[in-house]
Amino acid sequence: MKLKPIKDKKKITIIFEKGRVINGKNISVRAFDLQDEKSGYVVSVPKKNFPLAVNRNLIKRRLRAALTDLSINNHKLSFFLIYISKKIVPGLVLKKEIKKIINKID
């Protein structure tokens, strides 16, 4: 099942408020099962940690690329990914960490 970005503010607030939180080394994930919707994601990189937009966009691209290869087991699970590391991490490390966190949720 293909993940699509979530742009509805109501859905984002539901995920952020009611979602289950799992912290990794570099990423914090809030996941919630929206019963009536397809699975989706939101990516966030704090401006406080990365003041330059170039660096924030680089991290966001790497997180989205890691999510494209992710397969969800027919769940309608939606994610809010928050990058919590203070340094820029390679994409392969992010991909492994996201898979590990998603397996904990399932």
Distance, CA of 86 to chain centre: 17
* Gap between the terminal Cα atoms of the chain: 15
The answer to whether the beta carbons of residues 39 and 3 sit under 8 Å apart is yes
Q: Please tell me the pTM assigned to this model.
A: 0.86
Strands of 77-83's sheet in order across = 4-5, 40-44, 77-83, 27-33, 20-23
Q: What is the CATH number of the domain that holds 21?
A: 3.30.230.10
Beta pairing partners, 81:
29, 43
* pLDDT, mean over the chain: 87
Write phi, then psi, for 81 (nearest 5 degrees).
-90, 125
pLDDT band at 48 (very low <50, low <70, confident <90, very high): very high
The answer to whether the beta carbons of residues 15 and 32 sit under 8 Å apart is yes
Task: Give the domain extent around 32.
Answer: 4-105
Number of domains in the chain: 1
Paired tokens of 41: 């994601």
Look-up: residue for tokens 């392969």? Answer: 92
Q: Tens digits of per-residue pLDDT, 53-71?
A: 999 999 999 999 988 877 6
Beta pairing partners, 36:
none
